[in-house]
Amino acid sequence: MTLRGRTLLGVMTFIVLSGEPALAKPVDAPKVVETPKSPIGVKAQRRTKSVLQVNVPYTSIEFHTDQPLASAKGGLIALSVKYTGSGQTASVQVPGSVSYPVGPFSGAFEHTVDAADVRALLRRDEAAILTRCQNTLQANNAQSINTVHDTTLPFIVAAADGSSLASTSVSYQLGLLCVAPPPPLQVTLPFTRIEVVTGERLQVARGGLVNLGLSYHGTGSVASLQVPGALSYPLGKHVGSFDTSVNNADVRALLANDDAAIQSRCAGTLDTNHAQQIDTVHDTRVHFTVNGATGNVVAETDVAYQLGLTCKRPLSATIGYTKITVNPSKPLAQATGGLVPLSVTYAGSSATASVQIPGALSYPLGTHTGAFQQTISNADIRAILAADEAAILKRCKDTLDFNHASTIDTVHDAQITVTVNASDGHVVATTSVAYQLGLTCVL
Beta-carbon contacts of residue 38 (< 8 Å; ≥ 6 apart)? 44
On whether the CB atoms of residues 407 and 440 are closer than 8 A, the answer is: yes
Per DSSP, helices labelled H in 169-312 are 251-254, 259-272
3-state class of 136 per DSSP?
helix
User: So what's the pLDDT on residue 112?
Assistant: 95
For residues 71-87, give the mean pLDDT: 95
Percent of the chain with pLDDT over 90: 85
pTM of the model: 0.63
Please classify residue 386 by burial: count the beta carbons closer than 10 Å to its beta carbon, then call 0-12 exposed, 13-18 middle and 19+ buried.
middle
Helix/strand number for the chain, H first, E second: 6, 26
What would the pLDDT profile of 429-442 be if each residue is shown by its tens digit? 999 999 999 999 99
What would the pLDDT profile of 200-209 be if each residue is shown by its tens digit? 999 999 999 9
User: So what's the pLDDT on residue 49?
Assistant: 63
Report the distance separating Cα 46 and Cα 109, nearest Å.
Answer: 24
Report the distance separating Cα 324 and Cα 272, nearest Å.
Answer: 35
User: So what's the pLDDT on residue 331?
Assistant: 96
Least Cα distance to 198 among 42, 430, 358 occurs for 430
What would the pLDDT profile of 55-67 be if each residue is shown by its tens digit? 999 999 999 999 9
User: Within a 10 A sphere around the Cβ of 12, how many other Cβ atoms?
Assistant: 11
Q: What is the CA angle 194-308-310, rounded to 5?
A: 55
What would the pLDDT profile of 308-319 be if each residue is shown by its tens digit? 999 999 999 999
User: So what's the pLDDT on residue 18?
Assistant: 40
Rounded alpha-carbon distances, angstroms, from residue 264 to 114, 197, 269, 309? 65, 11, 8, 12
Report the distance separating Cα 85 and Cα 196, nearest Å.
Answer: 81
Q: Is the pLDDT of residue 425 over 60?
A: yes
For residues 405-423, give the mean pLDDT: 96
Residue 376 CA from chain centroid, whole number: 49
- Please tell me the number of Cα atoms within 13 Å of 400 on its side-chain side: 17
User: Within a 10 A sphere around the Cβ of 134, how many other Cβ atoms?
Assistant: 13
3-state class of 56 per DSSP?
coil
Query: Which long-range CB contacts under 8 A does 296-299 form with residues at least 24 apart?
Result: 298/216, 298/218, 298/220, 298/221, 298/222, 299/183, 299/184, 299/185, 299/216, 299/218, 299/220, 299/222
User: So what's the pLDDT on residue 103?
Assistant: 85
User: So what's the pLDDT on residue 353?
Assistant: 95
What would the pLDDT profile of 191-248 be if each residue is shown by its tens digit? 999 999 999 999 999 999 999 999 999 999 999 999 998 999 999 999 999 999 999 9
Q: Is the pLDDT of residue 6 over 70?
A: no
For residues 181-197, give the mean pLDDT: 95
User: So what's the pLDDT on residue 42?
Assistant: 39
For residues 37-64, give the mean pLDDT: 72
Please classify residue 410 by burial: count the beta carbons closer than 10 Å to its beta carbon, then call 0-12 exposed, 13-18 middle and 19+ buried.
middle
Report the distance separating Cα 286 and Cα 301, nearest Å.
Answer: 8
How does the average pLDDT of the chain come out, rounded?
89
User: So what's the pLDDT on residue 363?
Assistant: 94
What would the pLDDT profile of 293-310 be if each residue is shown by its tens digit? 999 999 999 999 999 999
What would the pLDDT profile of 102-133 be if each residue is shown by its tens digit? 989 999 999 999 999 999 999 999 999 999 99
For residues 380-386, give the mean pLDDT: 96
What would the pLDDT profile of 18-30 be if each residue is shown by its tens digit? 444 444 444 454 4
User: So what's the pLDDT on residue 186?
Assistant: 94
Length of the chain equals 443
